[in-house]
Structures are given as structure tokens and as C-alpha cells.
Structure 1
Amino acid sequence: MGEVAAPLLAGFSIALIGVIAQNPGSFRWAGLSLLLLTLAVGMLLLSVQSGFHARQMYWTRDELLPWFAGSLNETSEKAFSGMHTTHLQLWKKWVDRTRRSYNSGIILLMLGVAATLAPPTAQASDLISAADPLFRWSAVVVAALLAVAEFIWWWATGKEGK
């Protein structure tokens, strides 16, 4: 999520923001599209940052032992175990934040795409074909349904872990 998908989707969102900002008259809801896509970028970048923090808290005993000179005694074993428990709890919190921000970013991205796809108000002579508005509105509905599906997926998978 936070290492590959979120940065890729954030970059796509930024590119789409650039397209809309250059020619807002070509979009029915340019301002709404820009707002939703900017929020998506923010949530996806938050996902990246949260993923970095989560990774810092996740380590194994074998990864950390080389940092200790000599062998561990009973006192240092207890401290080591307590530190590991604390870090695992922090890791779980950061992973949850990563997941929440990623899913929020996906939902906002799909809503931004839906707003971008809405056909601009145009004269009949500007239309590519008479069916063009129907196809564009169909695309809006599909993008909105994908946002709803992502929300349902997020909600359903979140319940499994509890």
C-alpha cells in the first residue's frame, strides 16, 4: 500500500490535477474535481508516511541482536521483550493509519475521477456524438460505484481484524 500503490496513485492524481487546472472549461465540475483529487493526493501521501513509520516499528529479535554487544542477560531480555511489545503495538497503530489513509485516498480518487468524467455543459454541435453524454454519465456512475465498493470493501475487511 504505502510503498508502491499509494505513491503511484498520488502521482496519477497530481497529473490529473495538472490537466484539469490547465483547461478547467473542459470540465463540468473542475473545482470539485480539483478538490477531491487534492484530498486524494493528501490521503495517499499520508499513507506513504504512515507506512514509513510503521516499518520503523516492525523488527525481529534477529534483526536487533547484532546491535547488542555480547549476550543478553535476564534484565536486558526483559527490557528487550518490553521494547518489542511496545513497538509491535505502535506498528499495529501505524499500519491501521496506513490502511485508513490509503482506503480514504482511493475513495477520494474515484470520486475525483467521477467528477472529472461528468460531461461539460456544451452545445449540441460540440458533442462528439449524440450518445457521448450518456457514455460520460455512465462512466460517472461506474466511478462512483467503485468508490462505494471500495468503502464497502474497507468496512468489511476492517471488521475481520476485530
Structure 2
Amino acid sequence: MADAIDSATGVAAPLLGGFTLTLIALVVQDDKEFRWPGWTLLLLTLAVLLFITCVQAGFWARWRRPESIHSNLDSPHVLSSYRTWVRVARDTYDAAIILLFCGLGAILAPIDHHDEVQRWLAAGLFLGAAFSEAIWHFAARRTG
């Protein structure tokens, strides 16, 4: 579990957060090219904030990892605190992915009739991915 959390919070979340921040800049620069610029910016902003929260939670989890030199191995609080921060990291990462997929779907929504069908299909694929990610997240929460 520690390796997966380290990868998610130390590699994937910062990378995806930076990518999402770039998308925000793109929408802000030319908002007339997007069907729903306001909603798109809101979804992407929430995703960036959650990616940052995920990174921060990862730092706290590593700091409280039972084998860490910073934690008191005799304390029962250490394992509980570590699990809490791992859960926060996992939940914020999953929520950020869902919001990123929704934001990408909003970016792809057509504003005119040019390639309308293809763009709606592409947007729908991202919304389907967001829905699938949400189901996957809640299924994983139920199984532990």
C-alpha cells in the first residue's frame, strides 16, 4: 500500500495537477471557444485543488508511516493516523480524477455544428470514464 500511495501522491497527482492547471490557463485565454467555460473552469479548479490536497496528504502519510523515523512506533495512534492520511490521499486523488474527466468532457462539448457528433461522443466517453471511476472508487471503499 505504501508504494501505491507514494506513486499516487508523489508522481501522478503532481503531474496531473500540473496538466490540469495548464488546461485552466487554456480555457481562461480563449473562453469563447468552449461551450461552458465557467463550468469547465470550476471542474478543473476543483480537480487541481484536490490533486494538491492529495500531495499534501501523501506527505502527512509518509511522515506518520509506522516505519518512519519521525513516528513513535509504540504509539497506537501512529497506525490510525497513517491510515487516515492514506484514506484522504486516496479519496482526494480519486475525486480529482473524476473531476478532471468531467472537465475534459466539458472542454470537448461542441459549441457549433462542426463535428458535433464526434465531439459529443468524445465528451461522452470522458463522462463515462468519470462515472466508471466513481463506481470503482466506491467499490474499492466497500472492500477495504
* TM-score normalised by length of structure 2: 0.89
Q: 2:18 aligns with which of 1, 11, 31?
A: 11
1:59 and 1:81 mapped to 2: Cα distance? 6
Name structure 1 gaps, 5 residues minimum.
Answer: 68-79
Alignment-derived partner of residue 29 in structure 1? 36
Count of matched residue pairs: 136
How far the C-alpha of 1:88 sits from its partner, in A, is 1.0
Residue equivalent to 2:138: 155
For residues 29 and 65 of structure 2, what CA distance do their matches in structure 1 show? Answer: 43
Give the CA deviation at 1:82: 3.3
Whether the aligned pair in 1 keeps the contact of 2:101 and 2:127 (CA below 8 Å) is yes
Q: Does 1:58 align with 2:58?
A: no
Q: Which residue of 1 aligns with 2:49?
A: 42
Q: Does 1:112 align with 2:94?
A: no
Q: Which residue of 1 aligns with 2:120?
A: 137
Mapped to 1, the partners of 2:45 and 2:106 lie a distance apart of 13
1: distance between equivalents of 2:10 and 2:66? 17
Give 1:86 shift.
Answer: 1.4
Percent of pairs with identical residues: 39
Aligned residue for 1:3, secondary structure, equals helix
Query: Higher relative contact order at CA 8 Å, sep ≥6: structure 1 or structure 2?
Result: 1
Unmatched tracts of structure 2, length 5 or more: 1-7
1: distance between equivalents of 2:65 and 2:42?
35
**Cα deviations by residue, 1:124-156 (Å, 9 ceiling, x for unpaired):** 6xx3xxxx1100000111000000000011011
TM-score, scaled relative to structure 1? 0.80
- Following superposition, the deviation at residue 81 of structure 1 comes to 5.0
CA RMSD, aligned part only?
1.5
Which residue of the other structure, out of 74, 85, 89, is the alignment partner of 1:82?
A: 74
